[in-house]
Structure 1
Amino acid sequence: MLDTNVIQSRGCSAVTLADGRPGLQFKVRNPNYRGIQASLLIGVDVWINGNKYPREVVLVTLQDKVYSHNELQTTVTGRWQLDEMATITVPLEKVATAGVYQIDVTINIRRPYIPVPYCDSPFSSSAKLVVLPNHAISGPQLGVSTYSFTNDIYTAHHRFRSK
């Protein structure tokens, strides 16, 4: 089952890329109203704790195939199904430590039936995701509740004014 938010609440982890660089991975759902050809995905811009990572460095995994920005633009076989999560991989300068990260993402999709100057449809989303430590956890631990970040009626910060 997919979350309502474009950025999914599960699947965030620190990773090591094929070239040995550290990275951060998280999952997103297709924000469009239907599945699309991968070549219609103009790009994915990511901000992690306020640091921007442009679409040219972000890797997108669709149907177990990893695409760079340039590969997305030229693929003729790739597809992003409506009910499929895409894995977004962002190369980092240093290893992502365990903790809470503010993730902001803008997914740009080209609409082939709209004239070129207006065909770019940006879908923006934000979430706080938790990266767990890589080592095995044993014994009692302090935990982080991601429920406190949902901003529902029980966790939103309300201020009441007295008259």
Structure 2
Amino acid sequence: MFDGYIFTDNTLTNVEVDGEVIGFEMRTRIPYYRGVPLSMVHDVEVEVDGEPVPRGDIRFTADDGGHWWTLTEMETVTFFRWEYEDEAVVRVLRPGGLPAGEHEVLLRVSARVAYIPVPFSGEMRRTVTI
């Protein structure tokens, strides 16, 4: 239902910090029609060219980089909400980022909501060129 919002078009880019490419990131929207506390984000999964990214290499922010969390840290973040109208950023830590060329990237985001017994998910696969 919300798959079309999961991986914002033309947002995947390598990330450079202090002159070093530390990984890559993309923007996403919540796969639900309301905002949720970050503790209700069940999972964020990324695959690149068919290879899953380890969970520990994924970082998440819902305030344009003001606060970054690991997925494990997010499990306890009840004071910060990801609102429906806000794009979040999913960052993958990977020294050197993605090499130049074409890549197939899958982004899957799942959230728990109070009255649905299973996580509510959305996913999108895009072919991107770096």
* TM-score normalised by L of structure 1: 0.67
* Residue segments in structure 1 that go unaligned for 5+ positions in a row: 132-163
| Aligned residue-pair number | 125
> How far apart, in 2, do the equivalents of 1:24 and 1:63 lie?
17
Contact 2:46 2:107 in 1 (8 A): yes
Partner residue of 2:33?
33
Tell me the distance in 2 between the aligned counterparts of 1:121 and 1:129: 26
CA shift for structure 1 position 129: 2.3
Instruction: Report the equivalent of 1:144.
Output: none
Structure 2 distance, partners of 1:54, 1:42, is 16
Aligned to 1:136: none
Counterpart of 2:47 in structure 1 is 47
Counterpart residue identity of residue 52, structure 2: K
- The Cα shift of 1:121 comes to 2.1
Higher alpha-carbon Rg: 1
Q: Percent identical across equivalent pairs?
A: 21
How much has 1:93 moved relative to structure 2?
A: 5.1
Determine the structure 1 residue equivalent to 2:85. Answer: 83
Question: Would the alpha carbon gap of residues 89 and 43 (structure 1) be closer, same or farther in structure 2, given more than 3 Å must change?
Answer: same
> SS at the partner of 1:129?
strand
Write the letter of the residue equivalent to 1:14.
N
Q: Equivalent residues in 2 for 1:16-31 (5 A)?
A: 16=16, 22-31=22-31
Q: Could you say if the C-alpha distance between residues 56 and 17 of structure 1 is closer, same or farther in structure 2, counting changes exceeding 3 Å?
A: farther
Match of 2:110 in 1: 108
Secondary structure at 1:39 match in 2: helix
- Tell me the SS of whatever aligns to 2:121: strand
Aligned to 2:62: 62
> Whose strand proportion is higher, 1 or 2?
2
Cα root mean square deviation, aligned: 2.3
Structure 2 residue runs of 5 or longer lacking an equivalent are: none
On the 8 A contact 2:31/2:121 being kept in 1, the answer is no
Q: What per-residue deviation string (whole Å, max 9, x for no partner) do you get for residues 111-148 of structure 1? A: 2223xxx33222221112232xxxxxxxxxxxxxxxxx
Task: Name the counterpart of 2:8.
Answer: 8
Runs of 4 or more, structure 1, over 3 Å off, are: none
TM-score (norm 2): 0.82
**Bigger shift: residues 94-103 or 80-89:** 94-103
Q: Which fold has the larger relative contact order, with Cα–Cα distance below 8 Å and residues 6 or more apart in sequence?
A: 2
